[in-house]
Structure 1
Amino acid sequence: MKKIITAAALAAAAVAMATPAQATATARQPSTQQRPAILPAGNGDVLSSEPGVFFLDPLKAIKVDAAVHRIMYRTTDRTGKTIAVTATVLNPVKSKYGRRPIVAFAPGTQGLADKCAPSRQLADGTEYEALPVKKLLDEGYAVVVTDYQGLGTPGVHTYMDREAQGRAVLDSVRAAQRLDAVGLPDAGPVALYGYSQGGGATAAAAELAPAYAPELKIKGAVVGAPPADMNKVADSMDGSAYGAFFNYALSGLATSYGIDTGPYLNAHGKRVTSDLRDNLCTTQALAKYPFLNSRFLTVDGRPLTERLRRAPWDRIVADQRLGKRKPAVPVLLSHSALDDVVPQQVGKTLAADWCRQGVTVKFAGNHIPGHIAATAGTVTEGLPWLADRLADRTAPSTC
């Protein structure tokens, strides 16, 4: 039996471990699970679980009919250090499947603050990717949504860290399979799905799976608008309507690699970076800091994109590059030609890199205007493609 803990107990533990300045903020955010002193031996082992809810709206008028559990599970960070991560496991009440498939839903950009964790936003009715999650449930799939490293757990979210994100996705599947309260098959079919940051995390998980989680029966991966090459994505984002995302990436990767960004930033840059790190989720960040240009944040007036091309950042950026490793499963890669955050050529290059390695890839381009709106294209293409993979039909290829 897994340990069941209440939201009140979790909140109390969070406040007890917080500093005085943090305690007030934490108290306003219930159900913050804390890492136990000793973690179990296996990646994907469930550390704790509690009942949850899933609402489609912030008024909490539309509750999704599914069994929901918020869990904490073991995974490892980029360096291989054992860490605890939270996630939400959702099981539809009705399903046409006997051995119910599990879809690992890797969320897109949420923000860096703990309040932005998908597990909280699904419960609060504020998760902007709620509809894709519900569509997967409507298809009869169980869904597990990771919070990634540092969202809902102590520390800064390691946003854009390829290995940490990919491992968190794969271990969320293991955790869902091991959760006694849900009763999903231990060796049942699995699929991976994600858009934007989630597309990158899904791609990373597909590349890592052969070595990191070879026992998972992954049938395919739906990868939407993946930020596969940070140099090209950073150039596109900095100074754009999505400039806050570049700042997220700087904070996330600096945390993962132990770099102090303070010396790069002027006083204004430090205030903005702190605000984005500690207070603002995606929609709030885009509204408060539209067209954020990093050259106004630096002590030397140069954009931070220039620094990415110098040591140690050049190596860090290279570490995040997708397409160097071979997924062992078919991939659908969906990307709009009118994407204003991740250029479509980035997705085309990733597809070509995988094709050269012998991966079965279908590149599904579309002309939906804008990065956010184009998530609909990934849903439209992805659901029937997933259904075919789970039915063991031959995967199409555009290689």
Structure 2
Amino acid sequence: MSTSRHRTLPHARRFAVLSAAAVTGLALTLGTATAPAGAQSLVPQTEQEATDLIEDRQAEDSDALNRSNVPEGVSVQEARAAVDKSDEVTTADVEYAAALEDLPSDAVPENFYETPNQLPEEDGAVLKQAPSTFYLDPIKLIKHDAKTTAFMYRTTDEQGNARAATATLLTPKGASAPAKDAVVISPGTQGIADKCAPSRQMAMGTEYEGISVTSALAAKRPVVVVDYVGLGTEGTHHYLNRVEEGRSVLDAAKAVQNVEGSDIDGDTKLQLRGYSQGGQATAAALELASDWAPDLNIASASAGAVPTDLYDTVSKLSNVYTAFLLYGIDSFAEQSGVELSEYLNQKGLDAAESASNQCTIEALVNHAFTDTTTLTKDGNSFQEIVDKEFRPIVDKQLLGQSPIPDVPVLVNHSRLDDVVPFGLGRELASTWCDAGNRVAFEDNLGPTHIGGYIAALPRVEIFTNRTFDDKAPLDSCWRL
């Protein structure tokens, strides 16, 4: 793939690119994005996309770029600017520099995600597995030493159809065997495109949940990261569908016990953990556990910034996060059998199509501050479309309506959360308390939704260690 010309890239430019890449990696890890929206469309999400991009940009000289060798959807001017301005390097430039360094390609093979022609009868049955890697940065200089295995398993969607889903098992060096305890992570919003699956993004070094995964691995216990139904594999990912998310989590926890090389077995204590969409998936899994997976040894759970009421969440969401609304409107329409063209104008249809092919960070940057009234035919907001067409789908996602296992639960939420209203987290904790559960409620002052996520991590690890040691965490029910 590389030529001698590529390998003689001047050191000054190479180090400039790699230095800027470190900043890019940090931005991706923390869930922020500093590159302009036009540049973000250059970001490759798979090894093949990165390879194609490199082949399209065979020269450092931006004058060599023209309409024939610039990726579709990117202007020649944008491409030239991305090449010329190393201080505005994009992830695409990072991948370009990485290829010049002949860094290894350790992503899960694309055909791994193809669903077998026939699925087994039992949910949680393992269909296949493949070695993978976990990189902490998009230029793949920082590789975690955990043994990483992607696996596919059977689950069932809300309509009762057998589906294949994927997840990743990470076993750190020094972990005990068999594993005494393990963490099952439900990731936050990734996007709705297959390329956004955490198992794919961890191998690419672009998974923002890497900070949570690394935190969990530091305790020398295995970690399972779930992809969710339709995220990575065939079929649609129904964004924020609590039943399909909850089943994905529980069936992954069952399946991992039969993954070759896994140290997790039926006696391993499990903690279910997640934040935001992951918090919703964790809470949903708890509510489904007694019927769907009664034999799982769930020892505790941690649910952060849980959108227990999607209607309340959507109604208060600012246009900074229009990408989330685009994910939702696309998913709700698919589940309801509604044609978006009935409500959205061409700009709206283009925005929905664009977001559906972008992962979270890219989508947030590209669609930030978009007023949804400019995307509809009649000038109504997305909220009004939800009221008219999607309220039944939204109300089916309510949480806090069913009993959960009698295990310690941590509910964490920032008072300054600008995505999921703080009151929803407090109300969920209070509801579980009223039902007789042992609940530790931890608020914090982390600024914004992502700030609350980072601020909660230390407390989550303390809670995890205490519950795995059979020590009762502080019960907050008396003050809720």
Q: Provide the TM-score with structure 2 as the length reference.
A: 0.74
1:277 and 1:397 map into 2 onto residues whose CA distance is: 41
Residue in 1 aligned with 2:401?
324
**1:259 deviation in Å?**
3.5
In the alignment, the residues of structure 2 paired with residue 212 and residue 362 of structure 1 have an alpha-carbon distance, to the nearest angstrom, of: 25
Asked whether the equivalents of residues 78 and 256 of structure 1 are also in contact (C-alpha less than 8 Å), the reply is no
In the TM superposition, residue 257 of structure 1 has moved relative to its aligned partner by 4.1
Following superposition of structure 1 onto structure 2, how do residues 3-22 of structure 1 map, counting pairs within 5 Å?
none
1:134-156, CA deviations, whole angstroms, 9 ceiling, x for partnerless residues? 11111122111111112111233
Residue 287 of structure 2: aligned partner: 207
Aligned pair partner of 2:192 in 112, 128, 132: 112
Task: Give the match for residue 373 of structure 1.
Answer: 451
The correspondence of residues 160-309 of structure 1 with structure 2, limited to 5 A, is 160-237=240-317, 239-278=318-357, 280-309=358-387
Structure 2 distance, partners of 1:74, 1:356, is: 35
Q: Which residue of 2 aligns with 1:313?
A: 390
Deviates more, 1:261-270 or 1:88-97: 88-97
- Structure 1 residues 29 and 217: alpha-carbon distance in aligned structure 2, compared to 1, 3 A threshold: closer
8 Å contact kept, 1:156–1:277: no
Inter-partner Cα distance in structure 1 for 2:230 and 2:341? 20
Alignment of 1:100 with 2:180, yes or no, is yes
Structure 2: distance between partners of 1:99 and 1:331: 21
The Cα shift of 1:96 comes to 5.2
Match of 2:431 in 1: 353
Return the alpha-carbon distance in structure 2 between the equivalents of residues 326 and 377 of structure 1. Answer: 28
Counterpart-to-counterpart distance in 2, 1:384 and 1:270: 46
Cα distance in 1, alignment partners of residues 349 and 304 from structure 2: 32
Partner of 1:308: helix, strand, or coil?
helix
Tell me how far 1:36 sits from its aligned partner. Answer: 1.1
- For the residue of structure 2 that corresponds to 1:149, the secondary structure is coil
One-letter amino acid matched to 2:363: A
Give the Å deviation of 1:288.
0.7
2:312 is matched by which residue type in structure 1? Answer: K
1:69-108 matches, within 5 Å, as 69-95=149-175, 99-108=179-188
Question: Displacement, 1:209?
Answer: 0.6
Q: Which amino acid aligns with 1:140?
A: K
Using the TM superposition, give the Cα deviation of residue 98 of structure 1 relative to its aligned residue in structure 2, in angstroms: 5.0
Q: Secondary structure at 1:176's aligned position in 2? A: helix
Residues 373 and 379, structure 2, Cα contact 8 Å, conserved in 1: yes
Cα–Cα, structure 1 residues 96 and 180, in superposed 2: closer, same or farther, change >3 Å? closer
* Superposition pairs of residues 328-347 of structure 1, within 5 angstroms: 328=405, 329-347=407-425
TM-score by length of 1: 0.89
Distance 1:60 1:305 in 2: 41
User: Cα deviations across residues 346-385 of structure 1 (Å, max 9, x unaligned)?
Assistant: 1111112222212211110011111112111221111110
Structure showing greater Rg: 2
* Conservation of the 8 A alpha-carbon contact between 1:264 and 1:298: yes
List per-residue Cα deviations over 1:80-104 (Å, max 9, x = no partner). Answer: 2110011111111212575332211
Of the structure 1 ranges 251-260 and 40-49, higher mean CA displacement relative to structure 2 is found in 251-260
> 1:197 Cα shift?
0.7
Unmatched 5+ stretches in structure 2: 1-47, 49-71, 73-106
How far the C-alpha of 1:57 sits from its partner, in A, is 0.6
The one-letter code sitting in structure 2 at the alignment partner of 1:205 is A
Is the helix fraction higher in 1 or 2?
2
Q: Which residue of 2 aligns with 1:36?
A: 116
Counterpart code for 1:305: Q
**Matches of 1:386 and 1:171 in 2, distance apart?**
21
Partner deviation per Cα, 1:68-127 (whole Å, 9 max, x = no partner):
111111111112211001111111121257533221100001111111110111001111
Q: State how far apart, in whole Å, the 2-side matches of 1:34 and 1:224 are.
A: 32
**What SS does structure 2 have at the residue aligned with 1:377?**
helix
1:45 alignment partner AA = A
Aligned counterparts of 2:322 and 2:143: Cα–Cα separation in 1? 34
Q: 1:92 to 1:247 in 2, by over 3 A?
A: same
Shift of 1:186: 2.9
Mean CA deviation greater in 382-391 or 347-356? 347-356
Q: CA RMSD in A?
A: 1.9
Structure 1 equivalent of residue 6 of structure 2: none
Structure 1: runs of 5+ lacking an equivalent: 1-10, 12-23
**Identity within the alignment, %:** 40
SS of aligned partner of 2:387: coil
Aligned counterparts of 1:71 and 1:313: Cα–Cα separation in 2: 34
Could you tell me whether the CA contact under 8 Å between 1:102 and 1:173 is conserved in 2? no
Q: 1:325 to 1:66 in 2, by over 3 A?
A: same
In 1, Cα distance between equivalents of 2:327 and 2:439: 30
Cα distance in 2 between the residues matched to 1:227 and 1:276: 21
Structure 2 contact 266–296 (Cα < 8 Å) conserved: no
Instruction: Write the mapping of 1:118-157 to structure 2, written as runs, cut at 5 A.
Output: 118-157=198-237
Cα drift, residue 304 of structure 1: 1.7
